[in-house]
Structure formats: C-alpha cells, structure tokens
Amino acid sequence: MEQLLEIKDLRVQFKTERATSNALNGVTLSIGKGESLGLVGETGAGKTTTALSILRLLPDAARILDGSITFDGQNVFDMTGAGNDLSSRQYKKLLEKQGISETEMRKIRGNKIAMIFQNPLTALNPVFTVGEQIAMVLRVHRGMGKREAMEYAGKLLEQVGIASYRVKDYPGQFSGGMRQRVGIAAGIACNPELLIADEPTTALDVTIQAQILELMKQLQTQHKTSLLMITHNLGIISELCQKVAVMYGGQIIEYGTVDAVFRDPLHPYTRGLLGALPNLEGDRERLVAIPGKIADPQNLPNGCYFNPRCEHKCAVCESKQPEMIKISDDHFVACFQAKGGV
Amino acid sequence: MGNYILRRIGQTLIVLVCVSLVAFFLIRLAPGSPAVLLLGDGATDEQIAAKEAELGLDKPLYVQYFRYIAGVFRGDLGMSTQYRMPVSDLIANRLPNTLRLAFFTVLLGLALCIPLGIVAGSHRGTAIDFFAMFFALLGQSMATIWIAVLNVYVFSVVLGWLPAVGTGTWAHYVLPVVTLGYPLAAETTRIGRSGMIDTLNEDFITATHAKGIRPSVVHWKYAFKNAVCPVITLVGMRLGAFLAGAIVVESIYSWPGIGQLLKTSVGNRDYQLVQSLLLLSAFLFALVNLLVDIINSLIDPRIVLE
C-alpha cells in the first residue's frame, strides 16, 4: 500500500521552568492511503502530542529532539539528530530550515490534514457562528467568496445531519454532540487525505458517541479518507480501524492489524487493556485492572517503560529497552517476552 | 436580542429612581442650609425662614422630592441658588466640555491599548511585551493628580509648549486628555493583554491554526473578538466616570466642565444643582453601560443566551 504519512523515531520533549517531560520517546508510525489507524493509550501516553506534531502545531514549550515526519511525499520536518542542547533561537531556526515552509504547511492544515478535537465544547470559538468556522476553511483553501463559502458550509452541515439554516447560529446554541458534528463538518470541508480525530467522542454520552462514530465511518468510506483515530476506547478501534498502534510512555509498544492485535495481544500492556474491558457474557467477574500508575513522562523508568507494572518482567526489562520485533506481516511488538519473533 | 435590551432599559430606570432618591436625601443630610449660605452669617431667623419659604425648603421632604421629580419630567431642573440661573442652562453650558474631554480621552486610551495589549498578548515574553507591561505599570502606579501636576510642570512651566489651564484651542486638550487617558490606556492594555493570553490558550485557537489560517488572522480576527469584550466593559465604566466629570483633572486644568460645577455646588449647598448633576451623572453612566452591554452582546452572543 502506498504510504500517506510516515513518522520516524519521533522524540518530543516539553520543557518548563519546573520540569522536563519526555512526551514522545521514539514514535514510528505509518498510515497508508485510505487506511484507518487507531492510536490507543492511557491519558498522558503522548497521543495528542503525536497528532499536533503531524500538523507542526506543537506548543512553544515543546521541542522536537529527533525524528521526521513525511506526509504525501512532503517533508513536514526532519529533525533527525537535533538533540536538546540548542538554544531556543537556534532550535526555531533549525525547525524552519528542516521542512517545508510555514506557507506550505498552512496549505496542508485544514486542507489535506484536518483534525477533530477532543472536547467539542471548547474546540469551537464561542463568538463566531458555526457557519463562519466552517466557511473559513473553504475561503482559505478553496478560494471561495464569503457567500459561496457560507452556502457550502450549510451543505456540509446537512451532510453531518444538521439543518443548513443553522449556519447562522453560534456554538452556544448547540448541544455537545451537535457541536462535534460541526467540528466534523469543518474537518471534511476540503475533503482531506488524512483526518486526525483526537478522542472525538470522549466528551460525549454513549448514544451520541454511537451516532458520531457511525457518521465518521460513513464519511470515511465515502471519501476514502485516511483516518488517525486517537482514543482510549478499544471498542471504537475495532469498529472503525483496520490497524491499531498501542502507545505507552511516548512509544508504540504494539502495532498491527486490529484483527491480529486484538485476537492475540502480545504485549502485557495490551493484554491488560483488553482484560480491563467488561464482558457481557459469562460470569460477572471483577474487571482486571492493570496495577500501578501510568508511566510519568517527567520521570521515566530505566529499561522498558512498562516494567514497573509488568507481571512478567525479568532482569533485562529493567536495563534495556525492547526493540520492535516482527511477529508476522500484520503484527509487531516491543517486548522481550514476546516469543516467536522472526 | 430585543427582549434583552428592554430588560436592560428596565433595570436602568430602576437604578435612576434609586439614584434620584439618594442624591436628594443625601445632600439634605449634610449640615448647613442654602438659605444661610445665601444670606450670610448676619441674617436673622425671620430672614432665613422667609428665604427657605421662597426656595420651597419649608415644605415636607417628600413634597419637595415629588416637586423636583415632576420638574425633571417637564425638563425643569430648578434654579441654582448659587448662580441664580436655571440648572438646565448651567448644564447645557458645561456638559459639552466634559463630553469632549471624555471622548478624546477614550479615543487616546483605545488607540494605545488595542494595538499594545493585543500585540503584547500575542508576543508574550518578547521585548514589546516587556515594553507594554512597563508602560502599563507606570500608568497604573501614578495617581492622576500627580500626572497632572507633573504634566503642568514639564510641558507648561519648564518647556512652555502647552497651555496649563483653560479651553479654546486644540493645544488645550493635550494635557487633560493625556492625564486622564494614560492611566486608562495602562489599565486597558493590561486587560487586553491578559484577555489575549487567555484566548490564545483556548482549544478553539489551536483548532483555528489547524485549519490553516494565517497566524495574523487568527490573532487579529478570531482571538481579538474574544479578548476585546473585557476591554470594552472597562472603557465603558471609565467613560461613565469621566462623563460624571473628572473633578480632579477639571479643577487642576480649570476645565469648565461638569466636575468643577459639582465641586462648587456641593460647597455651596446648591441643592437643585447637586441633585441634578448627580442624576445626570447616573443617567450618563447608565446610558454608557447600556451601550456597552449592547455592544458586548453583539460581539459575544453568549451574553444574551445566558
């Protein structure tokens, strides 16, 4: 399959006066054209940081220490070997030099890559109409005039199940689920090649979640958009995605087709995640929680980041980081315990 | 929207009734009588009683109040005992001066604070931010009266560039406007900056960047509208206060406005003038607030929705 997005060994650090936080510690990911990838992990595993890196919209406190991102043949950035000993001015200069220009990048944002945000209540500007917030994308990327863009925004609203006359309404006049539909309408406005959905249903209640997912599935198959679905809900992944990447401590620890990974999870963390799902059939057992706390990006353990919580750890887990090993063409895992590696 | 405005007008009327009551009774609680002040210390009790009867002050207070209110509705604000002319004429004479001063002050404040506050907020930690904050700190730390005296000393006495007192030419505006406008600009710069910083941290701003909008448009169009509401509210409040007459500044620069009039009328127990000036100030203040609320509700629809 032709690759659309490739992330190679991405390392991102957040530096504030008080602490240094290693958000991403070597993330390697790729998404093919038309493919949908689920990115799972607990809060703080680095999912949102990954998404913002793709758009080159990391906050000022963040620094890319290493790695590269290519999108559709374009070099978003290549910061291989940048390290963390640059001054902030040197860093900014380097970042500007190491990829396509900011103008080129803006042509990608909202156009070829669109993002849907986690909290629909805060992701829309309260003092602009929803129509304007969809129309701005069309004006910038499609060169539409004011009226034309508004009209088209109405059509997009209808596509996501909202009456078109509501373009003139403000976000405050919509419920959470409706606002997320508005976010999706803005996301699909330019028919992007990649749609990043950052926990698009986390802030919504269950029935609305189902509607939103149904909508996304329908749009994705219609437009053959690639999808990066960020979530901590495994049900969503099995519903919407072909591939899944499990994140822990700013690294991908297991990766493969949904089928392979969910049927035969190899990493103890992935097994834990799947074991923590409630089961409707059989006896009502206690849910199995993964013991311990999620890896603290400000204070990561030596060796495998999961080792303090791992039931199967051995000496090597505490001293060395496991490399990603290939189990089959559809399944990769980073764990010393995973047998049968090729 | 229409409902909202009607409700606000209703609230304003209630405030005005309360102000008229307070103004009327408070000045009468103050010791001293206008009759005594008019006749001088040597007046006999009979003379004073006769003068009070002439001024209508012998009637019960509620009668005096309703007479006064009835007069207000007819456009008759009574006679000033001190100036011996109708209060409405006095106000018509002085109000334009105060209005002009207030207008230019607000203009100066906005012209400085909007670019400075917004730019500082969107370039946090840079030299321009530092400069803006220094400018604001200075303006907020200095008392108006001190700025006024300093201005007079430097620009009138030492340099001789600008007239220190009176009205007449454009040059006369400079010192009073700067004296009132600098603290206003300082305050609003600070509010505008923090409004901008808060807004830029919002998810919807990241979302706007993620749509490929140019940063300058994101800041000046999409974030600006969020950040400007508190600035307008603050300017409205200060404008209301200026319209009531900037007593200190008008006195120092001998600016023939409402503030000076109020100062002398209180000293002379000029009941009709004091209560009318207070009522006028309250009316103007309420009017400005109403306008501010309407402007803000046009900018931020949440105000009407809640």
Report the chain A residue with the minimal C-alpha distance to residue B214. Answer: A106
Tens-place pLDDT, residues A5-63: 999 999 999 988 888 899 999 999 999 988 999 999 888 788 889 999 999 999 888 88
b/e B25-40 (16+ beta carbons within 10 angstroms → b):
eebbeeeebbbebbee
B207 contact A CB<8A: yes
CB contact under 8 A, B305 and A115: no
pLDDT (0 to 100) of residue B40: 74
Average pLDDT over residues B208-223: 92
B-facing residues of A in 42-71 (CB < 8 A) are 52, 55, 57
Query: What average pLDDT does chain B have?
Result: 85
Average pLDDT over residues B227-255: 84
Closest in A106, A110, A128 to B222, CB measured: A128
pLDDT (0 to 100) of residue A283: 63
| Residues whose CB falls within 8 Å of the CB of residue B84, separated by 6 or more in sequence, listed in order | none
- Within 10 angstroms of residue A99's Cβ, the number of other Cβ atoms is 19
Contact list in B for residue A52 (CB cut-off 8 A) is 206
Structure tokens at A290: 């993964």
What percentage of residues in chain A have a pLDDT greater than 90? 42
Are the beta carbons of B289 and B304 closer than 8 angstroms?
A: no
Lay out the sheet containing A243-248: strands in order across: A113-116, A194-198, A226-231, A36-40, A243-248, A251-257, A331-333, A325-328
Contact list in B for residue A106 (CB cut-off 8 A) is 212-214
- Residue of A156, A182, A109, A142 whose CA lies nearest to B218: A109
SS (H, E, C) B32-72: CCHHHHHHCCCCCHHHHHHHHHHHCCCCCHHHHHHHHHHHH
Tens-place pLDDT, residues A62-113: 889 999 999 998 898 888 887 777 777 888 888 888 888 889 999 999 999 9
Average pLDDT over residues B283-304: 85
The one-letter amino acid code at B211 reads K
- Within 10 angstroms of residue B197's Cβ, the number of other Cβ atoms is 17
Rounded-to-integer distance, Cα A306 and Cα A100, Å? 36
Q: Where are the domains of chain B?
A: 2-73, 87-299
Rounded-to-integer distance, Cα A180 and Cα A186, Å? 10
Above 70 in pLDDT, residue A340? no
Please tell me the least confidently modeled range out of A47-51, A204-208, A221-225. Answer: A204-208
Rounded-to-integer distance, Cα A274 and Cα A206, Å? 20
- Read off the pLDDT band of A341 (50, 70, 90): very low
- Residue of A306, A310, A285, A287 whose CA lies nearest to A295: A306
B100 contact A CB<8A: no
Q: Give the count of Cβ contacts less than 8 A between chain A and B.
A: 77
pLDDT (0 to 100) of residue B79: 79
What percentage of residues in chain B have a pLDDT greater than 70? 99
B-facing residues of A in 91-120 (CB < 8 A) are 106-111, 114-115, 117, 119
Provide the β-strand partners of residue A78: A68
What percentage of residues in chain A have a pLDDT greater than 70? 95
Above 80 in pLDDT, residue B219? yes
Tell me which DSSP letter residue A309 carries.
G
CB contact under 8 A, A126 and B203: no
pLDDT (0 to 100) of residue B4: 81
- Within 10 angstroms of residue A83's Cβ, the number of other Cβ atoms is 11
Residue B63 burial class via C-beta count within 10 angstroms: exposed 0-12, middle 13-18, buried 19 and up: exposed
- Within 10 angstroms of residue A340's Cβ, the number of other Cβ atoms is 10
The one-letter amino acid code at B63 reads V
Tens-place pLDDT, residues B87-139: 888 888 888 888 888 899 999 988 888 888 888 988 888 888 999 999 999 88
Specify the higher pLDDT residue, A242 or A232: A242
Report the chain B residue with the minimal C-alpha distance to residue A117. Answer: B207
Provide the β-strand partners of residue A333: A254, A325
> A127, A142, A180: which to substitute to probe chain B, counting the most B Cβ within 10 Å?
A127
Residue A317 burial class via C-beta count within 10 angstroms: exposed 0-12, middle 13-18, buried 19 and up: buried
pLDDT (0 to 100) of residue A342: 41
Are the beta carbons of B61 and B25 closer than 8 angstroms?
A: yes
Q: B159 to chain A, minimum CA–CA distance in Å? A: 45
* Interface confidence (ipTM) of the complex: 0.88
pTM of the model: 0.82
B305 contact A CB<8A: yes
- First-to-final CA distance of chain B: 12
pLDDT (0 to 100) of residue A165: 94
Domain at B87-299: CATH code: 1.10.3720.10
- Residue of A217, A215, A213, A189 whose CA lies nearest to A199: A213
Specify the higher pLDDT residue, B306 or B59: B59
pLDDT (0 to 100) of residue A106: 93
pLDDT (0 to 100) of residue A2: 82
Are the beta carbons of B303 and B296 closer than 8 angstroms?
A: yes
Closest in A117, A136, A173 to B213, CB measured: A136
- Give ∠ CA A242-A325-A79 in degrees, rounded to 5: 80
Q: B72 to chain A, minimum CA–CA distance in Å? A: 41
Are the beta carbons of B38 and B81 closer than 8 angstroms?
A: yes
Contact list in A for residue B202 (CB cut-off 8 A) is 122, 125
Closest in B210, B212, B301 to A107, CB measured: B212
pLDDT (0 to 100) of residue A280: 60
pLDDT (0 to 100) of residue B245: 66
Contact list in B for residue A123 (CB cut-off 8 A) is 203-204, 207
CB contact under 8 A, B207 and A57: no
